[in-house]
Amino acid sequence: MKSRITKRFELLQAKQEKALITYITAGDPDLNTTQQLVLEMEKAGADIIELGIPYSDPLADGPVIQRASQRALAGGANIDTIFQLVESIRRDTEIPLVFLVYFNCVFKYGLERFLNKCHRKGIDGLVIPDLPLEERSELQNMMQQYAIDLIPLVAPTSEERIKKIVANASGFVYCVSSMGVTGKRNSFDVDLAGFVDKVKKHTNIPAALGFGISTPETVEKLKNQCDGLIVGSAIIEKIEEGLKDNTITENVCSFVKKLDEAKNIA
Amino acid sequence: MIAVKELPKKFGEFGGQFVPETLMNALIELEREFIEAREDNDFQQNYKYYVKEYSGRPTPLYYAENLTNKLGGGKIYLKREDLNHTGAHKINNVIGQVLLARKMGKKRIIAETGAGQHGVATATICAMFDLHCEVYMGQEDMERQALNVFKMEMLGAKVNPVTSGTGTLKDATNEAIRDWVAKVEDTFYVIGSVVGPHPYPTMVRDFQRIIGDEVKEQILQKEGRLPDYLVACVGGGSNAMGLFYPFIDNKEIKIYGVEAAGLGVDTNKHAATITKGSMGVIHGMMTYLLQDDNGQIMPVHSISAGLDYPGIGPEHAYYHKIGRVQYQGVTDKEAVEAFQYLTRLEGIIPALESSHAIAYLMKLAVNTRKEDIIIVNLSGRGDKDIHTIRKVLGGQGNEE
C-alpha cells in the first residue's frame, strides 16, 4: 500500500511541482495551536507536515527548535496527548504527517506500541535524527507491517554510506543541506546539486532538502535541485513573533504562503 | 599479527552509536585511527612518556594504615590518582585522546566539562601542544566552579557557557556534540568519560586502564596477591572503569561502583543512575538513565559536580546487568562525612567525587576480615571542593 507521503509526491510530480514540507513542534505553545497551524498551513500551501515530538535533549537541533521543545514541554505536551492531537487532526485532513522524534522517546514508549499508535492515529512517516543506519534495523523491520515510512537522513559527510542508507527507504530521503544542527544559515557550504545527485544515483524515491532553509529566496534558489524543501526553524520564529500579541496563525500562514509562492515560481 | 579492523560496538545490549548521520563517518574514522594507535608501538610509547614525565605516573598505591586500623577490617590501599598533574585521573584520557587528535591532524579541540576537571585537563594538554581549545560548561556549573573557569582561561582555552536545558553537564555535552556536528571536519571532540557513542567508551577505558594495570603490579609487589575488593565512584564512570577493567576476569574479586545518591534515592534529587534509572539513549549511547515515563531526561543532583550526570557508561550498565559489579548509592551527607574523615585520618583531602568511594568503603570495611585487601580509587584531590565544603559546614569566611 502506498503511503500518503508517496501519493502526495506522485501528485506533485505529475504537476511538476516540488513539495513544501513545514515543521512545527507539537504543543508549541499548546496543542490547540498546533492543530490550528496544521490545518492552516495546509491551506497556505504546505504539502507535508512534520510534527516534532518535544524532547528534553534534542541534540540535532539549534536554539530555535530547542526553545520550541521547551515551550511545548512546559505546556504539558507528551506523546499520548500528541497522539490524541493527531487523531483529532486526522478528522479534518488527509495531509501527510511525519513525526520528527528522538529515539529515546520511541524506545521508552516501546517500539511496537509506538508504531502501532502511529499507524492507528494516522502518522505516515518517522524522521529519527539520532537513529543512523547502524541502529535502525530492529525498528525498520517492525515498520514494514505498519505502512509507515522510515525517512532516512543523508548528510553531506555520508559519501559512500549513501547507498546503504537509502536502500529499502520509502517516503522520501531527508538530505541534510548543511553541516551542524537545525537553524538559519546565511550561506550553504555544500554543493547541494551535486549532493542530491549522489543521493538520486542510488534511489528512485524523492529527495527533500532541509536544515538551514529559512527564506522564500532560498526556497526559490534550491527548488530545482530537489523534490522537496523542508522549513522548520524559520516557522518556529514566526510562532515566537506571534506569541505576545496572539498572531501566531496569521504570522505562520503568511510566511508559508510566501514559501509556497517561491516554490512555484516558474 | 593480524590487525583488528573493528571493535565491538556494544557491551551486551548497551552502547552503540545513536548520533546524527553527519557524525557517522567521523566516528568510523576515529575508530580506525584508534585501532591503529592501539597497535602502534610509537603511539603507545608516546602515551607512556607523557603520562610518566608530564603527569607523574605511576601514581602510588598507598597503604592507608590509620584508616585500616580505625575501620578495623581489611587492609586498605588508596590508588592516588589525586597526585596526577591537574589533580585527577582525567588527564590520563586527555593525553591519549589529544595524541590521537595530533595523529589525525586535527587542530581544533573541544570538550565538555561538569566540575571543570576534564576541562582543565584538556586545556592543559592543549596548552602544551599548542592546540586551539574550546570547553563547553553549563552556566550553573561555571558559577559553582568559577576557579576552574579562570584556570581554563589562563591556559588559553575558550570556555563557552551553556544555558540550554538545565545548564549543567548533560547540556554541556549536548552542546559539544552540536559543535562537533557543525565542524566535524577539523575538530576533535575529547569526551571526558566512558560515555558517548562508540568508540568513545572503549577508547576512554583503554586510556584509563593504566590505573588498574598499575594497581595489579603494585599490589602483587606489596602483598604478593590480588585484592579482594575494589571500590570506585561512578558518574560517567571513567576512573572506576580504569581501575576495574584489568580485574574484570578475576571473578573472585568483589567490585563496587559508588553512585551519587544526593539527598537520597527516594527523593528527586540524586544521580543514582543504576539504582533508579531505566534503559534508554543519551549522548549517543544505550545505557541506564534517569528519565520520566515519556523518555524525557530528568534533572539530577549531587553535591559533587563530577557525579551530577543522568547517564552512566554503557560498559558499567553491562557489568550491572550481568552482575559482575555491584552499584551502591552514597548520599551527599555521607560523602561530606567521608571527606572530613579521610582528611583528618590520613591528611589526604579527597575530591567530593572520590569521597563517595571513601564513604562506601567505611560501610564495607567493617564487614571484611583483617586478612582481606581493599583497594579504593582516590580519583581526585579536593582542592576544587573546599568552597563547597566550607558552605556545607558553615565555616568561617563563607561569603555566600
The whole-number pLDDT of residue B265 equals 96
Q: Which domain holds residue A111?
A: 4-263
- Based on the residue annotation, tell me whether A61 is a catalytic residue of this protein: yes
- The mean per-residue pLDDT over the stretch A114-126 comes to 98
Sheet with B108-113, side-by-side order of all strands: B158-162, B132-138, B108-113, B187-190
User: Which cell is A56 given?
Assistant: 528534553
Interchain CB distance below 8 Å, B24 and A59:
no
Whether A247 shows a pLDDT value over 90: the answer reads yes
Mean pLDDT for all residues in chain B: 95
Percent of chain A with pLDDT over 70: 100
Tens digits of per-residue pLDDT, A12-63?
Answer: 999 999 999 999 999 999 999 999 999 999 999 999 999 999 999 999 999 9
Amino acid at A98: V
Mutate which: A25, A53, A55, A56, vs B, most B CBs within 10 A: A56
pLDDT at B2 over 60: no
Looking at residue B256, its pLDDT comes to: 98
The answer to whether A155 faces chain B, any CB pair under 8 Å, is yes
pLDDT digits (tens, 9 = 90+) for B214-238: 999 999 999 999 999 999 999 999 9
Residue A50 is a catalytic residue: yes
Measuring CA to CA, which residue among B201, B270, B290, B182 is closest to residue A156? B182
* Cβ–Cβ below 8 Å for B294 and A78: yes
Q: Do A157 and B280 touch (CB under 8 A)?
A: no
- B143 pLDDT above the threshold of 90: no
Q: Tell me the three cell numbers of residue B319.
A: 557489568
pTM of the entire predicted model = 0.96
Share of chain B above pLDDT 70, in %: 98
pLDDT tier, B4 (very low <50, low <70, confident <90, very high otherwise): low
Q: Nearest CA to CA, how far is A128 from chain B (Å)? A: 9
Question: Is CATH 3.40.50.1100 the right assignment for the domain spanning B53-87+208-393?
Answer: yes
Q: What pLDDT is attached to residue B395? A: 63
Q: Which residues of B touch A132 (CB under 8 A)?
A: 17-21, 24
How many whole angstroms separate alpha carbon B128 and alpha carbon B385?
26
Condensed to tens digits (0 to 9), the pLDDT of residues B292-303 reads: 999 999 999 999
β-strands B278-282, B285-289: how paired?
antiparallel
User: What separation in angstroms does the CA of A18 have from each of A12, A226, B179, B259?
Assistant: 6, 8, 32, 54
Which of 3.30.450.80, 3.40.50.300, 1.10.3720.10, 3.40.50.1100 would CATH assign to domain B11-50+90-200? 3.40.50.1100
- CA A56 – CA A38 distance, rounded (Å): 23
CB contact under 8 A, A130 and B19: yes
HSE, CB side, 13 Å, CA atoms: give it for residue B226.
17
Which set of grid coordinates corresponds to residue B336? 561530606
Residue B313, pLDDT > 70, answer yes
Q: How many Å lie between the alpha carbon of B166 and the closest alpha carbon of chain A? A: 9
Q: Please give the Cα distance from B20 to A161 (Å, whole number).
A: 13
End-to-end CA distance of chain A: 33
B174–A59 CB contact, under 8 Å: yes
C-alpha to C-alpha distance for A165 and A159, rounded to whole angstroms? 10
Split at pLDDT 50, 70, 90, the class of B3 is low
Q: Could you state, in order of their start, the residue ranges of all structural domains in chain B?
A: 11-50+90-200, 53-87+208-393
Please give the pLDDT value at position B399: 42
Question: What total number of domains does chain A contain?
Answer: 1
pLDDT of residue B1: 47
Q: Would you call A73 an interface residue with chain B, using a CB distance cutoff of 8 Å?
A: yes
Q: Which helix (DSSP H) or strand (DSSP E) does residue B345 occupy?
A: helix B332-346
- For residue B397, what pLDDT is reported? 42
Task: Tell me the per-residue pLDDT of B319-334, one tens digit each, with 9 for 90 and over.
Answer: 999 999 999 999 999 9
Q: Is B226 on the interface with A (CB under 8 A)?
A: no
pLDDT at B396 over 60: no
* Marked catalytic residue, from A28, A42, A50, A237: A50
pLDDT digits (tens, 9 = 90+) for A185-234: 777 778 899 999 999 999 999 999 999 999 999 999 999 999 999 999 99
Q: Enumerate the H helices of B74-186 as residue ranges.
A: 90-103, 117-129, 139-144, 146-154, 169-182
Across the interface, whether the CB atoms of B21 and A132 are under 8 A apart is answered yes
- Looking at every residue in chain A, the average pLDDT score rounds to 95
Residue A6 has pLDDT above 70, yes or no: yes
Q: Which residues of A touch B19 (CB under 8 A)?
A: 59, 130, 132
To the nearest whole angstrom, how far is the Cα of A108 from the nearest Cα of chain B?
5
Q: Tell me the residue type at B206.
A: D
Please state, in angstroms and rounded to a whole number, the distance separating the CA atoms of residues A109 and A143: 15
Mean pLDDT score, A90-100? 98
Does residue B117 contact residue B90 with C-beta atoms inside 8 Å?
yes
Lowest mean pLDDT, pick from A175-179, B152-156, B372-376:
A175-179
- Angstrom distance (rounded) from CA A69 to CA A54: 4
- List the single best residue of B294, B297, B298, B300 to mutate versus A (max A Cβ within 10 A): B294
pLDDT given for residue A65 in this prediction: 96
Catalogue the active-site residues of B: 90, 112, 379
Q: Is A195 strand, coil or helix?
A: helix
CATH label of the domain that carries residue A20: 3.20.20.70
pLDDT in tens, B90-141: 999 999 999 999 999 999 999 999 989 999 999 999 999 999 999 999 998 8
Long-range contacts of A242-250 (CB under 8 A, 24+ apart): A243/A29, A248/A29, A248/A33, A248/A37, A249/A33, A249/A36, A249/A37, A249/A40
Residue of B6, B7, B17, B18 for testing the chain A interface, max A β-carbons within 10 Å = B18
